[in-house]
Amino acid sequence: MSTVRMAADKETGVAVVTLDRPDRLNAIDLAMVEELHETWRQLRFDDAVRAVVLTGAGERAFCTGIDRDAVVPQPDSPYMADDPLLRVGPKSNDLWKPVIAAVRGMACGGAFYLLGESDFLVADTTAEFFDPHTTYGMVSAYESVLMAQLMPHGEAARTALTGTAERLSAHRAHTVGLVTELTGPGGALAAATAVAAVIAGHPAEAVQGTVRALWAAKEAALAQGFAQAPHLVALGNLPGERQAELFRARQRTYRLR
């Protein structure tokens, strides 16, 4: 069964890519990694598509990061750790068409690999952003680097450090600039698609060049941060058994700010 759906409107030039595992809160398993990789590569060669909207199926979540049941094979070496989420975003797959994220419900943890490679975010009032890593004894490395490019340092730091104890509300996310447009419940996809159609109506070469220029403005910071990430994860992550214990003991309550 496919975990990613893609529908293109040839008249508007907009494609909608949907993470389609609503029963798992659109968590990313290894099959979804490969399907996202193939979807972005396919969109590179489809000249009829000039803008993309990325969203999640269902009402509860945009994406909740890596599926905790996913088994990721790892080389037996401290120098060759594999992070499958490094390949899920459009920029990582050399797609320089504008990608707008339409967020409904939860967006947390590894979702920032996708949000961080989107050009901007539209959300509805049900959206909530958080990063559970520290709660479970894990270093938020790649996620934090990406979050730091999306919002002020203090907001990124608080989101990363408070773990599951706090969530960034849609209203707060809009106030700090993480979200560019806030809609009523269920309205994010339509709003994102509308602005994508406007962008798709401009000459593609100019749009794609602008996307590339904007990404270049933060590329150096990302490269430096990512270079540190594997070492910080190796040093700071608790053993898997202890992480699982903390996950089972997690508190279900949180502060929405």
Cα separation, 76 vs 78, whole angstroms: 7
| Alpha-carbon distance values, 254 to 100, 131, 168, 169, 186 (Å) | 28, 12, 10, 12, 23
Q: pLDDT of the chain along its 257 residues, tens only?
A: 899 999 999 999 999 999 999 999 999 999 999 999 999 999 999 999 999 999 999 999 999 999 988 777 778 877 777 888 999 999 999 999 999 999 999 999 999 999 999 999 999 999 999 999 999 999 999 999 999 999 999 999 999 999 999 999 999 999 999 999 999 999 999 999 999 999 999 999 999 999 999 999 999 999 999 999 999 998 999 998 999 999 999 888 999 99
φ, ψ for residue 9, nearest 5 deg = -100, 105
Per-residue model confidence as pLDDT tens digits over 77-108: 777 778 889 999 999 999 999 999 999 999 99
Chain centroid to Cα 197, Å, comes to 22
Q: Which fold has domain 4-187?
A: 2-enoyl-CoA Hydratase; Chain A, domain 1 (3.90.226)
Residue 4: per-residue pLDDT: 97
Per-residue model confidence as pLDDT tens digits over 65-76: 999 887 777 788
Please, are residues 40 and 90 in contact by the beta-carbon 8 Å criterion? yes
Q: First CA to last CA across the chain, in angstroms?
A: 37
Q: Hey, where are the domains in the chain?
A: 4-187
Reference 45, options 2, 94, 82, 117; nearest CA is 94
Buried/exposed 215-253: b ≥16 CB within 10 Å, e otherwise: eeebeeebeebeeebbeebeeebeeeeebeebeeeeeee
* Residue 107: CA count within 13 A, CB half-sphere: 33
Cα separation, 233 vs 146, whole angstroms: 15
Please, are residues 51 and 13 in contact by the beta-carbon 8 Å criterion? yes
- For the whole model, what pTM was predicted? 0.95
